[in-house]
Each structure stands twice: as structure tokens, then as C-alpha cells.
Amino acid sequence: MGSFGTILKEWRTIRRYSQLGLALEADISARHLSFLESGRANPSKSMILRLSQALAMPRPIANQAMQAAGFAPAFPDIAAESNDLAPIRKAVERMLAAHDPFPGIAVDRHWNIVSANRGGEMLMAFTPPDTKRI
């Protein structure tokens, strides 16, 4: 994990913002943004959240930025088996069922196969038995 300034600059580049463009989007001065990127200024927790929102950072990346700046992660890492995600799991299962007889496979962020419909299971029958990733 890099420094907060490195993460900020990397995501500003990914989103194709100039320092001025991001500063305007986040409603801060371009000078302060430059100081944050170079490490001459330390960000507050609210500043990190504001910049991560302006850059549309995924939550795990925003958590990395928080940790790089010395703060606790702002967004909890919820296990896929959690009861909080039951409605989402149910929606994925319904989408896979509606996609049948065509193969449908649901994967996690590491490309591990989480679920499949009947068509997906038939397709996976042609792969080695220990295959759990795409």
C-alpha cells in the first residue's frame, strides 16, 4: 500500500482529472490538493471521504486511502455470507434463474465462482473438477 498522496494521484490520473479539475469537483483549492498529493499536508478524514467520492473510488480503495493516511477504514468489509447481503444474494439467484437455459455464472471480486444456473453448471462440467475460478 502506498502513501495517501500516491493513491490520490493514481486515482486522479485514472479518472483523467487535472489537479484543478479535481479541486473544483471536490470544492477545495488546487494548492491544497497539490500539498495533499506531495505529502506536504495531511488530510482529514472528511477530506479523504470528499476526494474519494469526487473520484468515484471503489470502497476498498477508499479504505486503503484512509489507512494510508492513518485512519481506520470508513467502510466495513462485509462477508458475502452475511445476513445483510441476503437480499442481494437472492436478487443474483433470481437473475441467474431468469437467464436459464443460457449459462449464467456469478463471481466475486477475485473471479472465484460463487453461483451458477443450470446452464452454467453444464458449461462448467467441461472444465477440470477443481476449477473454482474463471
Per-residue pLDDT at 50: 97
Q: What confidence category does residue 132 fall into, taking pLDDT thresholds of 50, 70 and 90?
A: low
| DSSP assigned state of 133 | B
Domain ranges of the chain: 4-68, 83-124
Distance CA 13, CA 103 (A): 37
Q: How far apart are the first and last CA of the chain?
A: 26
Mean pLDDT across 69-79: 89
Q: If pLDDT is split at 50, 70 and 90, which confidence band does 1 have?
A: low
Task: Return the CATH number of 4-68, one of 1.10.580.10, 3.40.50.720, 3.40.50.2300, 1.10.260.40.
Answer: 1.10.260.40
User: In this predicted model, which residue has the larger pLDDT, 1 or 49?
Assistant: 49
Instruction: Tell me the per-residue pLDDT of 9-53, one tens digit each, with 9 for 90 and over.
Output: 999 999 999 999 999 999 999 999 999 999 999 999 999 999 999
pTM score of the predicted model: 0.66
Closest CA to 51 of 9, 16, 106, 95: 9
- Interatomic CA distance for residues 116 and 93, integer angstroms: 8
Task: Tell me what pLDDT residue 128 has.
Answer: 80
Residue carrying the nine cell digits 483523467: 16
How far apart (Å, rounded) are the C-alpha atoms in residues 131 and 112?
9
Rounded Cα gap, residues 74 and 59, in angstroms: 8
Give the CA diameter of the chain: 58
